[in-house]
Amino acid sequence: MYLLSIEPVKDLLYKPLEEAYPVPGSFSADVIVVLGGGAYGSGVLKEDSVKRLLTAYLLQRKTGLPMILSGGASISSMPEAEAMKALLTELKADTRRVYTETESRDTEENALYVKEMCDRLGYKKILLVTSAYHMKRAVRDFQKQGLEVIPYPTDFKRETRYNLYSLLPKMTVLADSYKALREYLALISDVLR
């Protein structure tokens, strides 16, 4: 527990996940696809979702691309995609070309249902926005559906600069280590299927 609660160990866990795809300097895509990163039972977005959405919002302002928000209601009564769209509305974002996919419960279903939407809307090349640690699995699932994927990672968890306090255990670091271990288990599970 101590090791999983200190920053250097947490960063070692994230390194292979977060270095898989660099942030692209330039790209050409048909649509921005944002994957939900969780919501509380109240419908309030968790921090991973907010960071992903903020990145996509800034990309949309810069590029003018349409956006697909993907995420169903795994715990809360409001689907994540609808909660994300509501936040964009509060930010006074132009939501006329923001589409919501609200049926998915996991990354594999995100890919399946987003592919159906892309087929309907005529999009072939997606700019995929998700947390850097989640990108390996997300890219694989979306490519399996036959979409051309440009990964745009965000929500990086690694600190990489340490001091004496970095060796003190922290609950937030333990929570981040849990996310990395969960991602490795999901990757292994997908390979074993």
How does pLDDT run across 46-59, given as a tens digit for each residue?
Answer: 999 999 999 999 99
Cα 148 from Cα 168, distance rounded (Å): 43
How does pLDDT run across 117-145, given as a tens digit for each residue?
Answer: 999 999 999 999 999 999 999 999 999 99
First to last CA, the chain: 30
How does pLDDT run across 25-49, given as a tens digit for each residue?
Answer: 999 999 999 999 988 877 789 999 9
Helix (H, G, I), strand (E, B) or coil at 99: strand
For residues 17 and 183, is the Cβ–Cβ distance under 8 A?
A: yes
How does pLDDT run across 87-123, given as a tens digit for each residue?
Answer: 999 998 889 999 999 999 999 999 999 999 999 999 9
Q: Residue 109 corresponds to which tokens in the numbers above?
A: 């279903």
Cα 138 from Cα 141, distance rounded (Å): 5
Q: Residue 87 corresponds to which tokens in the numbers above?
A: 């936040």
